Structure 1
Amino acid sequence: MASDGSGLLVIERILRDRHSIWQQVVEERELNALTGRMLAASAIALACYGAVLGAFHSFLMALTSAVKLPLLFLVTLAICLPTLYLFNLVFGARLSIRQALAMVMVAITVISMLAVAFAPISLFFLITAPDYSFFKLLNVAILTLSAFVGLKFLTGGMQVLNEHGLLTTAPPQQVPQQVPAQVPAGAAEVTAPAVPVPATVAANGDGRPQVAAPVPVAAGPAPVAAPVAPQLPPYPQPLHQLPPGYRQQQPGARVAAGGQRPASMTLLYIWILLFGFVGTQLAWTLRPFFGDPGQDFAFFRSIEGNFYAEILNTIASL
């Protein structure tokens, strides 16, 4: 897809033509504009879904949740992005801060769009079965599923960057060595014409000179040029146009020994867990998002307990 997409349509490009997104990140081309569009689309989608969450309590709670849900994701990103960037630097990755930000914003955009796609289902249960505990668990499950899909996009994009050598240390430049041409096996030898050797003069018994005939000496086989190997297309190429095995032949590309993933990919999964823990704790700090109908409106609640204990208590109350 040639166009970069604008506004909410950026999610269509991510879902339909994600290879062009990865290619744009690899080339570091117009990342500021792409990141800005993803940021705007995510904020709008999360605000709409936050309004659905708060609608269970009151109109005022819907407005505050529409502000707090985008804030939750953006503050979590601001807290965790430096860790992801420094993790990659420590282990020799060549990923820039703009590339790291763009990759995480792809995941957040997918999460926000999937969440807002579930908004009609959440509204349906809000109208037909207005049970606070069930409504809260339903939306936690929706956000968890959306986060799982979005983070799968993140890991898939990082694997593409890894194949292009951005998550590994750049190898030293190698000077090409001159290899002498060799005659291919089975090829006919090309011989040069015989070079005559000067005749020698010897005395016969009667005193007359005897001239020896010239002895032809064959020259060695003439060198034959070695066959020229076909050249691969120049880097970078669109990912979907690369020939099979080309990405593994890029200079600096990962060569996995024994099928092991590089340390930067392992740290990515650790960072995802960190992102989840920070996000859930921040969500507990910014609560309420749903609003218990048995309590008055409050912009924030007092910090007590934790997110996971609250989920267990909610399941027990069903």
Structure 2
Amino acid sequence: MEQQQSGLLVIERILRDRDGLWRQIIDEQGLRQLTGQMLGTSAVSLAIYGAVLGANYGWLQALSSAVKLPLLFLATLAICLPTLYLFNLVFGARLSVLQTVTLIMVAVTVTSVLTLAFAPISLFFLISAHSYSFFKLLNVCILVLTAFVGLRFLTAGMRMLNDHQEHLAAVEAEARRAVAAPAEVKEPEKVLAAAAGDGATVDGTVAVAQHLPTAPPVRVQFPADRPRPVQPQPPAGQRPTSMTLLYIWILLFGFVGTQLGWTLRPFFGSPGEKFELFRNLDGTFYGDLVTTIGRLLSG
């Protein structure tokens, strides 16, 4: 298992060795180092892409966006992490806090590096197409696309962890059933006497052997009035995390992220306005997005 790779190469391992990555998270081996590598990779990638976003307005906006874009992703993670962890506890998942953080950081890292891969395309349109509305809408689409791909990694990793937990639950249930099986047939005299056909019993001992000196082995049946043994079920604390709740959490993550991005704006810098580190909290991200599309369509 390649745990000693450079932080800048961690994305290559995520893309090439997904099974090994999920296994490392399941076994909780070297997660602190892995999370640190992904954190560094994500911060650098998002900072570079943020600088491209702000370059539309000048170097001050580029520097501001280079700081605020990584802050946006990491702050959204910090806000939504407790919710996902509690969802895991509600449905009896065995994920630790570190496993949960590592799993989410996989998605953030994939998203961040993909945005960095789109940076040359964004820079090209910044230079060749002098349209603020088009540039802003283009980069919003890039961020949505890369976030979608990153979240696909999150759902794939959670499914892998769920499968592992189901396997453990099945193995433990089988072990419990095997341990309980020898205790299921403990009727002494009555069962053996009924099987012999004479119904006779002796105080403390069974005399069936005297009636069957050469008879073949008799298959012992449970009496009709005795309830069948109940098959053991997996313990409630070992149920896998509900994927439905994960999808709900992803929607929550998206809403928190977009609103936090609106709070931290500007990232692009509007033409004709002076530089501002933050703006007043008015309107919503979705309202501004509709307005931008309207301006672009109107020419």
CA distance in 2, matches of 1:177, 1:100: 38
Residue 225 of structure 1 corresponds to: none
Letter in 2 for 1:130: H
Q: Is residue 2:279 matched to residue 1:298? A: no
- Give me the CA root mean square deviation: 2.9
Q: How many residues matched?
A: 250
Deviations 1:30-53 (A, max 9, x none): 111100100000000000000000
Match of 1:315 among 264, 268, 293: 293
Does the residue aligned with 2:116 lie in a helix, a strand or coil?
helix
Question: Structure 1 stretch 262-271 or stretch 272-281: which is displaced more?
Answer: 262-271
Deviations 1:80-99 (A, max 9, x none): 00000001101211111111
C-alpha deviation, 1:2, in angstroms? 3.2
Match of 1:52 in 2: 52
Kept after mapping to 2: 8 A contact 1:95/1:166: no
Whether 1:276 aligns to 2:280 is: no
Change in Cα spacing, 1:130 to 1:101, as seen in structure 2 (3 Å) is same
Richer in helix (by share): 2
Change (3 A) 1:315 1:110: same
2:242 alignment partner, SS class: helix
- Gaps in structure 1 of 5+ consecutive residues: 180-217, 223-250, 257-261
Aligned to 2:136: 136
Mapped contact 1:94–1:168 kept (Cα < 8 A): no
1:177 is the counterpart of 2:181: yes
Alignment deviations for residues 228-268 of structure 1 (CA, whole Å, 9 cap, x no partner): xxxxxxxxxxxxxxxxxxxxxxx88xx99xxxxx6621100
Separation (CA, whole Å) in 2 of partners of 1:47 and 1:140? 16
1:41/1:109 contact within 8 Å kept: yes
Which runs of 5 or more structure 2 residues have no equivalent in the other structure?
A: 184-212, 218-233
Aligned to 1:111: 111
Secondary structure (helix, strand or coil) at the match of 1:130 reads coil
Contact 2:115 2:146 (8 Å CA) reproduced: yes
CA distance in 2, matches of 1:263, 1:26: 14
Aligned twin of 1:227: none
For the Cα contact (< 8 Å) 1:56–1:290, is it kept in 2?
A: yes
Distance 1:168 1:308, change over 3 A: farther
Cα deviation for residue 130 of structure 1 reads 1.8
Q: In structure 1, what is the Cα distance between the partners aligned to 2:154 and 2:31? A: 16
Give 1 or 2 for the bigger CA radius of gyration.
Answer: 1
Q: Distance in 1 between matches of 2:148 and 2:214?
A: 74
Structure 1 residues 279-314: Cα deviation after superposition (integer angstroms, max 9, x where no partner): 000000000000012111110011100000000000
Asked if 1:163 is matched to 2:163, the reply is yes
- The residue aligned with 1:147 is 147
Match of 2:86 in 1: 86
Q: Report the CA distance shift for 1:4/1:219 in structure 2 as closer, same or farther (over 3 A).
A: farther
Deviation at 1:177, TM superposition (A): 3.0
Deviation at residue 5 of structure 1 after TM alignment: 2.1
Question: Whole-Å Cα distance in 2 between the matches of residues 55 and 4 of structure 1?
Answer: 35
